[in-house]
Structure 1
Amino acid sequence: MRQRGAAALLLGAVLAPSLAGCGIRATEVPTYFGPAPSRMPCAASASSPGPSDDSEVPVRVYLLCAGQLTLVERTVRLPEGTDGSLRRTLVAQGLLDELTRHPSPGEQQNGYRTKVPSGTGVKGPRSGDPADAFRLSDSPQRLPAGALAQIVCTFAESAATRGSGRVTLGGPQGPLTRYECPQPVRTHPITTPVPSDAPATAE
């Protein structure tokens, strides 16, 4: 009996590696591959409270989220009685102020960010410029990738340009350029060049 028992143990020791080689496992060991991938929601909650008085005007600006331009709601304060070119310039500066401001903590958690440098300013047309031109505090060509798309698309759909879909921009000095904001720019603002051409003749 002892010999049979020893033989059985020996047979089991011989067969165990063979069974393991055939894919038969005595136990399963859990394996952790990390959390499942997730996508930034770009939730519509990224918005500001409505105007609190008549001097605050509701506007919309484009922020970057998940590699695209996404509209968020903001408000711009305007002095009472402003109109014409002064109002356009004040709206444009208010839009830039919102574009340069860091998104709120909640917006950042939802993936929102901005590439427009802090302190970017804007003025109206100089002598000899078209009436609809804006002069930025720095040349548009020197802006970070994505920042020009944010500015152009925000301005082009705002009261600053009467929603014309175009905006004429330049730096403090030098020539002006007319920009547009087609869908490819809104979808891929970092890698898609903003379409441009020479501005219209000065008015």
Structure 2
Amino acid sequence: MTGRKTVRAAWPLLAAVAATVLSGCGIRATEVPTDFGPAPSRAACQVAGGEVVEPEAGEFTAPVALMCGGRLVDVDRVLPVRERHAGDPVRMARALLEELGRAPADDEERAGFSTDVRKGLTVTGPGEGDPQEALRLGTLPENLSVFALAQVVCTFSGSPAAASDGSVVLGGPDDAPLRRYSCTDEVRTRPGTAPTPAQTVAP
């Protein structure tokens, strides 16, 4: 007990000495927060030991971009879309968006996967005067978190919901401006710090 009290009592003295040394070295304390990016993660980012769900007749699997270890990682999900509708951009976008908003399964969560896309986010096809590949979300894309927007864009980019060049044209409800988004390697590896590239689409 005496030894513990001695160590505990010495902490204020040690702190004062450390502060003096730092001051002498020209290092000043600061309360301004700094951001050096996400801390290294021990997440496996690989689903293992989970039950394999086989698609039923007419259904198929498609990759969705989930968060894991500070980056985007594709996970295969069975979509509730019949194969004959697989080429329909709006049907696919709705099915993929529904998967993004669904909480990760137990095995996915254990592997470190999560999603920043809120359940209930909707998507419709192009409005009057929109390009054919346009998709309109139930909220402005810029209102989504940087992680959620990256998830949506990178999930759509590898599906029939994307334009022929792999870009994704998104807008909000009604006649909100449309923007063409791209899923780059930088966005996939650093979705929190690398903004999703976007270009305004002329009306």
Query: Is TM > 0.5 for Structure 1 vs Structure 2?
Result: yes
Give 1:74's match in structure 2, choosing from 68, 72, 77: 77
Structure 1 contact 59–73 (Cα < 8 Å) conserved: yes
Q: Note closer, same or farther for the CA distance 1:147–1:185 as it changes in structure 2 (3 Å cut).
A: same
Is 1:57 the counterpart of 2:60? The answer is: yes
- Counterpart CA distance in 2 for 1:149 and 1:81 is 28
Q: Helix, strand or coil for the counterpart of 1:117? A: coil
CA contact (8 A) 1:68 1:186 kept: yes
Quote the offset at 1:145 in angstroms: 2.5
1:92-107 → structure 2 map (5 Å cutoff): 92-107=93-108
Report how far residue 98 of structure 1 moved. 0.4
Provide structure 1 residue ranges, at least 5 long, that are not aligned to the other structure. 1-36
Matches within 5 A, 1:81-160: 82=85, 87-160=88-161
- Deviation of residue 57 (structure 1)? 2.5
Per the alignment, do residues 83 and 91 of structure 1 end up closer, same or farther by CA in structure 2, a change over 3 Å counting? Answer: closer
Larger radius of gyration: 1
Give the 4+ runs in structure 1 shifted more than 6 A. none
- What's the offset of the Cα at 1:80? 6.9
Q: Distance in 2 between matches of 1:144 and 1:109?
A: 23
CA deviation after TM superposition for structure 1 residue 164, in Å:
3.2
Distance in 1, Cα, partners of 2:45 & 2:110: 9
Structure 1 residue 38 displacement after superposition: 7.1
- Work out the number of aligned pairs and report it: 162
Give, in whole Å, the separation in 2 of the partners of 1:166 and 1:113: 24
Offset at 1:162?
6.1
Deviations 1:83-125 (A, max 9, x none): 76xx210100000000000001111111100000110010000
Is residue 71–residue 190 contact of structure 2 (8 Å, CA) maintained in 1? Answer: yes
**Separation in structure 1 between the aligned mates of residue 164 and residue 78 of structure 2, nearest angstrom:** 17
Matched residue type, 2:56: S
Q: Is 1:166 equivalent to 2:170 in the alignment? A: no
Gaps of 5+ in 2: 1-39
Counterpart-to-counterpart distance in 2, 1:110 and 1:83: 29
Give 3-state SS (helix, strand or coil) of 1:161's partner.
Answer: coil
Q: Say if 1:39 and 1:81 are closer, same or farther in 2 by CA, change over 3 A.
A: closer
Report the CA distance between 1:52 and its aligned residue. 1.2
RMSD (Å) for aligned C-alpha atoms: 2.2
Q: In structure 1, give the amino acid aligned to 2:78.
A: T
Deviates more, 1:156-165 or 1:125-134: 156-165
Query: Identity of counterpart residues, as a percentage?
Result: 41
